[in-house]
Amino acid sequence: MEAFGRYLDLHELYNEFINSKFGSLMEYSAYVGTFAQTEKISHSLKATRQYKEYLEHILEYLTSFMYRTEPLQDIDKIFTKLQSEFEEQWANGEVPGWENKGTGKKSESQESAVDLDYYNTVEELVELGPEKLKEALTARALKGGGTVQQRAKRLFLLKHTPLEQLDRKHFAKGDDLKKEIALVEVKMKRLCEILDEVIVRTKENAEKKLTLTYEEMEAEREEEEVQADSESDEEDQQIYNPLKLPMGWDGKPIPYWLYKLHVLVR
């Protein structure tokens, strides 16, 4: 239960996590405290459609929660800014948790694999052999299959074209999926930062419930509902009257046109 915005309700997502290949068994309270720590999941388990769908479910729920509890937050603006920053970080291999998984920044081992400055023709690259070429291509997230000639041609493209400007058809299929997953992670983590207090409160509430009996949990739930109803009644009683209009017989401000009419009659 969200208790009218006091807590997150992550139970469905929790069940999805513990029953997945990338998840693990844990208490609900532990899940609440760690669900945003996606860096703890290995990349081999994350690069799947199942994991992407799970992330999208989290993002969808958090976005909905934000719209309902913090309507003044411009989520679209937040995501637009994130998208712009993400594209640059991904190209440079600097997305947190996905370092060197993008298409731009190469690790030291990638740089030393094949230095294209020493090769002037495709034929010279062919002499490296199929395995060396495949290693150099996959290190840059490019397709590593094909004949020796095809591999050499693909690698030679980088002689005059920056990796980030290369046609997407030359990249391994899994690279696009990884990028999509990384972007959803970034968006989800940003919302978690905004909702940090709610997440902490949710975790504390979940831990507290572990020590309660069923009767105590029911009593607490009823108390929360009564409190929420009371707060709702108080809000209803706060009448919006910025023009300080006289009150009518029903306890509400009279219409502005009626007020003006009274002024004119005077």
Which helix (H) or strand (E) element contains residue 222? helix 214-237
pTM for the predicted model, two decimal places: 0.63
Give per-residue pLDDT as tens, 7-16. 999 999 999 9
**Cα–Cα distance, 175 to 180 (Å, whole number):** 9
Q: Taking a C-beta distance cutoff of 8 angstroms, is the pair 29, 206 a contact?
A: yes
**Distance from the first to the final alpha carbon of the chain:** 56
Please tell me the distance from the alpha carbon of residue 197 to that of residue 188, in angstroms, as a whole number. 15
> Whole-angstrom Cα distance, residue 178 to residue 100?
12
Residue 65 CA to residue 195 CA, distance in Å, equals: 10
% residues pLDDT > 70 (the chain): 81
Q: Phi first, then psi: give them for residue 143, nearest 5 degrees.
A: -60, 135
Q: Which two tokens stand for residue 211?
A: 């020590």
As a residue count, the chain comes to: 266
Using pLDDT thresholds of 50, 70 and 90, give the confidence band for residue 111: very low
Copy the structure tokens of residue 79.
């995501």
| CA atoms of 213 and 184, how far apart (whole Å) | 38
Contacts of 121 (CB under 8 A, 6+ apart): 156
Distances (CA, A) of 194 to 33, 55, 62, 243: 15, 17, 10, 35
Q: What is the predicted pLDDT for the residue at 102?
A: 52
Give residue 65's pLDDT band: very low, low, confident or very high (50, 70, 90).
Answer: very high
**Both tokens assigned to 140:** 């840059």
